[in-house]
Amino acid sequence: MERKFMYYGGILSPIFFVLVDIIGGMITPDYSRIINAVSELTQAGSENIYLLSSLFFISAVMGIGFGIGIVTEFSYSRSKLIFSGGILIIINGIFSGLTGTIFPMDPFNVDITFAGTMHIILTALNALMIMLLIPMMGIGFYRERQWVSFRLYSIITLLIIVIFGGSTPVLMMNDIGLLGLFERIVIYSYLLWFFVLAFKLIRDHPAMEMQ
């Protein structure tokens, strides 16, 4: 029962993230979800940084709880891929919490700070971990639960992330004002995948407990 409760973190974490995006976009002056990055909502010096950082932190904690639920349900000996994916979800949650609070993004056109440098590093590491954990979980749960559709869904999600995430440098170099849109396609694709995984685990939890 405790593990199933932790799986609800995978439902709530994306919801709180979306709340940050919606509320932040509404209360931040001259903010555009098409042009501006999500991290700009809590960049250093933002007037709403404390409110939005708090919501980011809640989202991160929920994600960490979800990862803990996975690694306690699926031991390394039971499924190396699922266990390792759960560890990456925990680390992802920790890094997300740090980038949304202690290490905010530096505003553009200012001297970069230590916190801003850490924000870039942790964000890049998070992107790499996401691209690893999605196929790991897709394959792992296909072997464990025969989730054929989830494996295919994981592959599609990964392709979306690679295509739109890989296009971001092109947008920045050519000053194309679609950074916010492309970033949100990447983030929301992952959040939806996160949500679907949690939903399937909650739905199948009674059957897993009997194994």
Please report the DSSP string for 139-170 in residue order.
Answer: HHHHHHH--HHHHHHHHHHHHHHHHHHHHHHH
DSSP characters over 98-138:
HHTTTSPPPPTTS---HHHHHHHHHHHHHHHHHHHHHHHHH
Quick: pLDDT tens for 159-201. Answer: 999 999 988 878 777 777 788 999 999 999 999 999 999 999 9
pLDDT at 164: 93
Question: For residue 51, what pLDDT is reported?
Answer: 92
Q: What is the pLDDT of residue 45?
A: 85
What does each C-alpha distance from 16 to 5, 12, 23, 58, 60 come to in angstroms? 17, 6, 10, 7, 9
Confidence category of residue 207, pLDDT binned at 50, 70, 90: low
pLDDT value at residue 99: 94
Name the region of 175 (left: φ>0; alpha: ψ -120 to 50; beta: rest): left
Task: Collect contacts of 112-116 with beta carbons under 8 A, ≥24 apart.
Answer: 113/44, 115/44, 116/44
181, exposed or middle or buried, with CB in 10 Å at 0-12, 13-18, 19+?
A: middle
At 123, is the secondary structure helix, strand, or coil?
Answer: helix
Residue 206 has pLDDT above 70, yes or no: no
State how far the Cα of 27 lies from the Cα of 29, in Å rounded to an integer: 6
Instruction: For residue range 100-158, list pLDDT tens digits in order.
Output: 999 999 998 888 899 999 999 999 999 999 999 999 999 999 988 889 899 999 999 99
pTM to 2 decimal places: 0.90
Rounded to the nearest 5 percent, the helix, strand and coil shares of the chain are 80, 0, 20
d(CA 55, CA 18): 10
How confident is the model over 85-109, as pLDDT tens digits? 999 999 999 999 999 999 999 998 8
Q: What are the pLDDT digits (tens) for 42-71?
A: 998 888 899 999 999 999 999 999 999 999
